[in-house]
Amino acid sequence: NMCRGRRGSALSARKLMAAEEAANAEPVPTDAGPVEEKPKDEKPKEIKKVSKPDDALLKQRLQEQDDKLVDKQARLEQIKATVDTRNQPTENAEFTAARSKFNVVRAESRRLLQEKRSIYDQISSADELKKQQQDLTQRLKT
């Protein structure tokens, strides 16, 4: 088949030969063999001893951090108190009353604007209906 000069048949013959060679080949072992273990008679490396921490220095550093923490907590409480006083409506009763009046008036204004839009929509739809009827009567007359 390969001697005919056809390119396709030559390629398929090569593929067949390669497949046969792969099938006949010996399987390659995937395992590299048994893992070598270290002899147990070897002693582990010596561990360096760490000196004992200085308790006085440690306590001093902890006290410094505790002092900083207490200062920050006091500042936090001060800020919280300031924010709470700003948010309480009792201190600004005038402002709160004015704001509630404004909200009522704004809601009423929006309601009236919506009503106005609704009326204009009704007028425009009535005008369209009137125009359609006029067009219809005009066509019937002719």
Buried b (16+ CB within 10 A) or exposed e, 8-42: eeeeeeeeeeeeeeeeeeeeeeeeeeeeeeeeeee
Residues 60 and 129: their CA atoms lie apart, in Å, by 91
Q: Assign 2 a pLDDT band (cuts: 50, 70, 90).
A: very low
Between these two residues, 108 and 17, which has the higher pLDDT value? 108
pLDDT in tens, 76-87: 999 999 888 777
* 94 pLDDT higher than 90: no
* Tokens standing for residue 120: 């204009």
119 pLDDT tier (thresholds 50, 70, 90): very high
Please give the pLDDT value at position 1.
Answer: 47
Please state, in angstroms and rounded to a whole number, the distance separating the CA atoms of residues 7 and 5.
Answer: 6
pTM: 0.33
